[in-house]
């Protein structure tokens, strides 16, 4: 209900050009130190909206007016699908965290991407589209999964500045098995091959924070073999450790992906390991528990080019983007660096 209310409240900004311009002027921080260039794209600032908030691209113009440096829309699937049975979204206020088991509800890749096409000129920042597996498509035989992803990819790349392959949501049965080396090689290789024909777009894969070291290294080997452009690290976690919320209340909620501050430390570790493995030239988007400029700086010093918000955007509201952007620009200026990238990349781990 809260999410529906928030989306409804953004409707006037989405549809009224003058109001959108007023909001953009009030919320957007235009500082040259924040401009970030990666994947052949220019981002006015490195703070993006994570996939999952605007699954159907219904509020993309309004969200860009709130000062985000880029948007990741979706996740979309080739076949339209409803949410998993409710209740499927929960707040843990004591942890400023969320648990969700929505499961990629969306109107389908073609309707959503066609909507993006209609409004794209009114979105002044790069737009990524996340693609996932349709729930109704079985994992076996694998060629069905590949065909399903390729259908979404073809729709997405026509209208996106970059595409993110989501193989890490815990809310679609069996999806995370696609992070296994052989399955990942088949799927990501097929999408990369398709991407090499026609109009090529930057292609990234979104990974789970729950991979162990060997699984992570094996998956990153595939990223390099398939010459993907980058990694989004990380998705939500199935872990429930270190929570302030009563354990019985958490257990009563049941399955789903946990996001917010409890994920931060693990996401930071994953970002550092990913940067070490993929080197300095592939893109890395860090996401997981970012609430402050210090959190964003830590993620970027660990190896992220860009960062994303989701849970903190819900808890703190739209002013968080302006707050983080201002603090990041001020910190960069105080450091004497010419850009935020120069300020943070000197701390990146050695490859």
**Are the C-beta atoms of 181 and 214 separated by less than 8 Å?**
no
| pLDDT tens digits, 47-59 | 999 999 999 999 9
Tokens (6 digits) for 343: 């300020």
Q: What is the pLDDT of residue 3?
A: 84
Distances (CA, A) of 75 to 23, 57, 152, 153, 318: 26, 10, 10, 11, 21
pLDDT band at residue 351, thresholds of 50, 70 and 90?
confident
Closest C-alpha to 328, from 40, 71, 35: 35
Kindly name the residue from 134, 169, 259, 312 that is annotated as catalytic: 169
Other beta carbons within 10 angstroms of residue 328's beta carbon come to 26
pTM: 0.97
Q: What is the pLDDT of residue 198?
A: 86
- Distant-in-sequence, close-in-space partners of 44: CB < 8 Å, separation ≥ 6: 28, 30, 34, 35, 69, 124, 125
pLDDT > 90 in the chain, percent: 97
Q: Is residue 169 annotated as a catalytic residue, yes or no? A: yes
Look at residue 233 and give its three-state secondary structure: strand
How much is the average pLDDT of 236-258?
A: 97
The DSSP call for residue 348 is P
pLDDT digits (tens, 9 = 90+) for 190-210: 999 999 998 899 999 999 999
**For residue 47, what are the β-bridge partners?**
307
Tokens of 67: 């000062």
Q: For a pLDDT cut of 70, what percent of the chain falls above it?
A: 100
Domains of the chain by range and CATH? Answer: 2-345 (3.20.20.70)
Quote the pLDDT of residue 264: 98
List 106's β-bridge partners, or say none: 81
Rg of the chain over all Cα atoms, to the nearest angstrom: 19
The position carrying tokens 């490859």 is: 351
**Residue 27, token pair as written in the block:** 């919320």
Q: Are 242 and 264 in contact (CB under 8 A)?
A: no
Give the pLDDT mean for 184-188: 98
């Amino acid at each position: 209900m809260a999410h529906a209310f928030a989306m409804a409240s953004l409707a006037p900004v989405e549809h009224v050009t003058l109001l959108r311009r007023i909001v953009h002027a009030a919320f957007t921080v235009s500082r040259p130190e924040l401009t970030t260039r990666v994947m052949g794209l220019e981002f006015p600032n490195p703070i993006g909206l994570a996939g999952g908030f605007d699954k159907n691209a219904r509020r993309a113009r309004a969200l860009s007016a709130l000062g985000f440096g880029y948007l990741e829309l979706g996740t979309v699937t080739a076949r339209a699908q409803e949410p998993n049975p409710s209740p499927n979204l929960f707040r843990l206020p004591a942890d400023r965290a969320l648990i969700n088991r929505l499961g990629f509800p969306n109107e389908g890749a073609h309707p959503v991407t066609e909507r993006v096409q209609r409004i794209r000129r009114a979105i002044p920042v790069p737009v990524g589209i996340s693609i996932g597996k349709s729930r109704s498509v079985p994992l076996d035989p694998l060629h069905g999964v590949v065909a399903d992803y390729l259908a979404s990819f073809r729709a997405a790349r026509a209208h996106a500045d970059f595409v993110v392959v989501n193989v890490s949501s815990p809310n679609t049965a069996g999806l995370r098995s696609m992070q296994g080396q052989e399955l990942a090689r088949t799927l990501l290789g097929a999408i990369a091959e398709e991407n090499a024909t026609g109009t090529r777009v930057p292609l990234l894969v979104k990974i789970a924070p729950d991979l162990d070291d060997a699984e992570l290294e094996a998956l990153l080997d595939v990223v390099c073999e398939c010459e993907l452009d980058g990694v989004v690290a990380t998705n939500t976690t199935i872990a429930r450790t270190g929570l302030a919320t009563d354990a019985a209340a958490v257990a009563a909620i049941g399955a789903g992906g946990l996001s917010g501050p409890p994920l931060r430390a693990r996401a930071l570790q994953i970002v550092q390991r990913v940067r070490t493995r993929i080197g300095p030239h592939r893109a890395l988007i860090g996401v997981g528990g970012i609430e402050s400029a210090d959190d964003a700086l830590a993620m970027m010093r660990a190896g992220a080019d860009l960062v994303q918000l989701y849970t903190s955007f819900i808890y703190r509201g739209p002013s968080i983007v302006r707050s983080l952007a201002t603090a990041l620009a001020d910190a960069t200026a105080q450091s004497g660096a010419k850009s935020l990238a120069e300020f943070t990349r000197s701390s990146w781990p050695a490859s």
